[in-house]
Amino acid sequence: MNFDKKKLESELPSFFPALLDELYLHGHVPTLVGGAVRDFFLFGSPGKDWDVELSHETIAFNKDQWKQLGKDLGRFGKVTFLPYEIIRLEAEGFQLEFSPPRKEHFEEDKNHHSNFTAEFLFKLPFEEAVLRRDFTINAMGFRFKSKKEIEHLDPLEGLRHLREKVLHFAGPDFGKDPVRFLRAHRFAEKYHFQFSPELKNVLDHMKVEGFTPNYLWTEMQKSQNPMGFLVRMLREKEHHPNMRLPLDASVLPKLPDVKKVLSDPKRHEAWIIALEWTEIPFESWREYFSVGSDTARRLARWAQSSKTFQKVLPETFHGEFEEVRDTANFELLFDWYFTTKQLLQKNPDLPLMKMIEDYLPDWIHLYRFEAVKDVKHIDPPFRAKYQVWNLCQRL
């Protein structure tokens, strides 16, 4: 996990050399920052969603000059001006967001995501500019000093933390933004990172009652593992009595464009399982999921049964077949086993095996062992049950 300049250059879009010329013409020095740098070290590619910080050695930030820069960038693609002086450029499938370095001054008596005023400073040193970012792993940069000279900037040791799989806050104001509480748990769940002791202490003392439905659902969507994220949040709720998770139907009027938040139909089946697993009835959200009613009910039943088998171990079903087959829990196990098979047959990408491995590890081999095929000696009505019973004897 080292900086490979040639690899980075191979990932740059075709328009990038001309874009650098334009930025240099305006006197700017561009630095690729944030998630693109992190992902380059993690996955070998910066992706196509970039944050670029533009510094300037000789002039102060000027709105007119900045607006002119945005207009000039229009020759490369579609330009949009966003809040906090962000210029978004969409070109060749890439999305680049340019911004000046800034300091954020928080209002002490407020507790929400935008409780700060921004001060834009072209000459702000990188090691100061990154203090506003969330985590050290997102506080690295690739500075394009020239077309041939690219410098890896890492004043907060983000690369070391990335190697160690540790999340650590970038600056002293981390705890003033409640959304960062969600992001910390999203990153920990998504990348299997641990919190540094210092970050854990900050998270334990954060004011987290200010979550809006939009931010919570958006972070869950980004987590790619909604059940793991929800389980984390419910666990944290025990330590934060004032934390309210806006997940029931009462938040729908407050959630802007919920269909945009729940934008990936491929994940909707996993969402239903996640909601039911955490005892939030999916029926409240049913109209927002692109899943048929029969499949939705089967998913909900699977989640409810799975929770039962967190407490019921395979040893429960050890014994003579005739004694085990008619017990209530075995009937439930039989249904759970074949429901799993049916759901995976319909959608092989559904992460049921991963969920079982993570939350029901005692049961994972029920699905990894091959069912016995010689069942001719069993009465036909009981042959499928016998196969499941036989699997249990091997667990």
| Per-residue pLDDT tens digits for 347-374 | 998 889 988 998 899 999 999 999 888 8
Q: How far apart are CA 223 and CA 191, in angstroms?
A: 9
As for how many domains the chain has, the answer is: 2
Helices 383-393 and 328-346 meet at what angle, rounded to 10?
Answer: 100
Domain limit, last residue, from 164, 198, 217: 164
* Ranges of the chain whose pLDDT falls below 70: 108-114, 210-211, 244-265
Residue partners of 200: CB distance under 8 A and separation at least 6: none
Does the residue 251 lie in any domain? no
Cα 5 versus chain centre, distance: 28
Q: How far apart are CA 70 and CA 58, in angstroms?
A: 19
In this predicted structure, what is the pLDDT of residue 251? 55
Does the residue 106 lie in any domain? yes
Does the residue 65 lie in any domain? yes
Does the residue 262 lie in any domain? no
In this predicted structure, what is the pLDDT of residue 232? 83
CATH of the domain at 25: 3.30.460.10
In this predicted structure, what is the pLDDT of residue 143? 98
Domain limit, last residue, from 132, 164, 196: 164
Q: How far apart are CA 5 and CA 235, in angstroms?
A: 42
In this predicted structure, what is the pLDDT of residue 220? 79
Does the residue 268 lie in any domain? no
In this predicted structure, what is the pLDDT of residue 110? 56
In this predicted structure, what is the pLDDT of residue 264? 67
Domain limit, last residue, from 111, 144, 164: 164
DSSP letter at 133 equals S
Burial tier of 77 (Cβ tally within 10 Å: 0-12, 13-18, 19+): middle
Domain of residue 382 covers: 309-393
- SS3 string of 253-319? HHCCCHHHHCCCHHHHHHHHHHHHHCCCCHHHHHHHCCCCHHHHHHHHHHHHHHHHCCCCCHHHHCC
Does the residue 174 lie in any domain? no
Does the residue 101 lie in any domain? yes
In this predicted structure, what is the pLDDT of residue 142? 98
In this predicted structure, what is the pLDDT of residue 250? 58
Neighbouring C-beta atoms of residue 231, cutoff 10 Å: 17
Does the residue 220 lie in any domain? no
